[in-house]
Structure 1
Amino acid sequence: MNLHSTEVRQKAVTLLRDGVSNADVARTFGIPPGTISYWKHLDRARRGECPGKHDPPCPRCDGRELNESAYSYLLGLYLGDGHISRYSAHRVPNLMITCGESWPGLIDDCEQAMRTVFPDNSVCRVRKTGCRNVKVYSKHLPCLFPQHGPGKKHDRRIALEPWQQDIVDAHPWAFVRGLVHSDGCRIINWTTRIVAGERKRYEYPRYLFANKSDDIRKLFSDTLDKVGVKWTTLARGVDPFNISVARRASVALMDAHVGPKY
């Protein structure tokens, strides 16, 4: 059994109070994440901050101020790669966004958006093979994400509430960016042409968004229309799962406001 000094433990708890994730603190000190989680639980218990002992205010229920730009981005991430679990070991709903570990900047942006939208709740990263699950626990997740329901998103109707649509209308690029960061990508296509008798290769960037939900694809394309981006539908087999942005002016708009994952 490994024993850790009081000094190391206090340094770890100080970082946790400053908002550093359990996983990052564990890596900093070379201590198992389970130990860090236990220290955090004991520290919060001593200060009366254990989950269930207080209920952070909700923008919908209590009128707390909501950072709408961060919410619009997080909403896009949720509709793409997010999931809300109503039942967990913590007995509190949790929002989980799955991010590929090849895109550390995306993971950072996702975590920052969660912390901004839920400033009084703990946010953590869970390491999985090939990805990181960024999670937040809150009793008010169903208030902020009423699209949650049983089954897969593409098997049920997905529509924004009027107050959500108002936020997306006010911050359309944040919403588009969240959707692209979850279920989209920026790629380089190429083609060849005969010029003066010679075959030459030309490369051009393209944005793609793929989602099996007709409703989510429509939310994406409707928002593109509002910001002046031209798009087309690409069929995969007989299913139109892909939305493509390939026109030069529209790609330039996407580059200016979204950009590739990083």
Structure 2
Amino acid sequence: MYDMGARKRALALVAQGQSLNSVSKETGISRYAIRSWQTRIEPGQRASSPCPRCQDDPGTPESPAAYAYLLGLYLGDGCVSPHRRGVYFLRVVLDNAWPGIIDACEEAMRAVRPSNSVVRVRKQGCVAVSTSSKHWPCLFPQHGPGKKHERRIVLEPWQQDIVDAHPWDLIRGLIHSDGCRTINRTTRLVDGERRAYEYPRYFFTNLSRDIVRLFTDTLDRVGVEWRQANPRNISVARKASVALLDVHVGPKY
């Protein structure tokens, strides 16, 4: 019998992409036990839910708002990688400084695929939130070889419908992954005297022009004014627009 701590550690190592053989050698736990933990349905859990995109009449994922948020996190800090027997891992790597975002990522993964387990793998300075399914490429068709900024990133029509219905969730996911809210400090001349003042602003940075365009198109849809300093940096500094982002996104937490 293995305790829960040993079980969680073994599953976390598998979630990192290690083989069952290597995990078995490292932990001393049999491959049979680890495999059974991967497939076991715990009391109160549902059996694996069908993929909404693999049906004869494809539909949208469960909890479209959570999907839009998870899509933003994936486009910023996530990847889909193949494992064995047609299984894929979805991983989003997040900074330890933002435990609330780590929690929100896990909640979104569970909402989109309720029957799938989610694990957190702690690394130096960050946490990889991971979950496995055969259907992540169906749900994230932007998956492909190479880095995201080196290939085209275009939403499928069904994804665009979700973003149109839940634009703020996508924006929040993108900012939580590749954006920030900062206080800009500067000076200006008032009645001949130079005075210091400060104001909040939001930044979003991504190497992919397609992802930047998706971000700015969605900002346009919700009435947020933005400025592009260079091909990969977007700034939102107008008072009314910052106020909108404060309501729907806010500082990282």
Indicate the TM-score class for this superposition, using the shorter chain for normalisation: 0.7 to 0.9
Q: Following the alignment from structure 1 to structure 2, what is the Cα–Cα distance between the partners of residues 113 and 70?
A: 5
- Extract unaligned runs of 5+ from structure 1: 1-5, 24-32
- Which of 138, 143, 146 does residue 138 from structure 2 map onto? 143
Q: Is the 8 A contact 2:60 2:158 kept in 1?
A: no
**SS of equivalent to 1:60:** coil
Asked if residue 186 in structure 1 is aligned to residue 181 in structure 2, the reply is yes
- Counterparts in 2 of 1:112-123, with a 5 A limit? 112-123=107-118
Instruction: Determine if the alignment matches structure 1 residue 171 to structure 2 residue 186.
Output: no
Q: Is the 8 A contact 1:58 1:64 kept in 2?
A: no
Equivalent pair of 1:96/1:133 in contact (CA under 8 Å): yes
Q: Is the Cα–Cα contact under 8 Å of residues 22 and 37 in structure 1 kept in the other structure?
A: no
What is the distance in 2 between the residues matched to 1:119 and 1:152? 28
Q: What corresponds to 2:215 in structure 1?
A: 220
Residue 258 of structure 1, aligned match among 235, 243, 249: 249
Distance change (3 Å), C-alpha of 1:61 and 1:252 = same
Which residue does the alignment assign to 1:27? none
Find 1:244's aligned residue among 235, 241, 249: 235
Partner of 2:68: 72
TM-score, normalisation: structure 2: 0.82
Residues 61 and 36 of structure 1, relative CA distance in 2, 3 Å threshold? farther
Question: 1:43: how far off?
Answer: 8.7
- Quick one: structure 1 residues 127 and 76, their matched pair in 2 at CA, closer, same or farther if it must change by over 3 Å? same
Q: Which amino acid aligns with 2:69?
A: Y
Deviation string, structure 1 residues 207-258 (Cα, Å, up to 9, x no partner): 11011111100000000000000001012xxxx2101111000000000001
The 3-state SS of whatever aligns with 2:232 is strand
Q: 2:60 matched to 1:60?
A: no
- Paired residues of 1:57 and 1:64 also in contact (CA < 8 A): no
Percent sequence identity over matched residues?
A: 58
Cα gap change, 1:225 to 1:38, in 2 (>3 Å) = farther
Assess, with a 3 A threshold, how the Cα gap between structure 1 residues 251 and 46 changes in structure 2: closer, same or farther: closer
Which one of the candidate residues 188, 192, 201 is aligned to 1:197? 192
Secondary structure in structure 2 of the residue aligned to 1:132: strand
Show the counterpart of 2:44: none
Which whole-Å CA distance do the structure 2 matches of 1:172 and 1:222 have between them? 10
| Distance (Å, rounded) in 1 between the aligned partners of 2:61 and 2:215 | 26
Deviation at 1:48, TM superposition (A): 6.2
**Offset of residue 38 of structure 1:** 5.4
Say which of 52, 77, 100 aligns to 1:81.
77
CA separation of 1:114 and 1:201: change in aligned 2, threshold 3 A: same
Contact residue 183 and residue 200 of structure 2 kept, 8 A: yes
Q: Distance in 2 between matches of 1:22 and 1:258?
A: 30
Structure 2 residue matching 1:160: 3-state secondary structure: coil
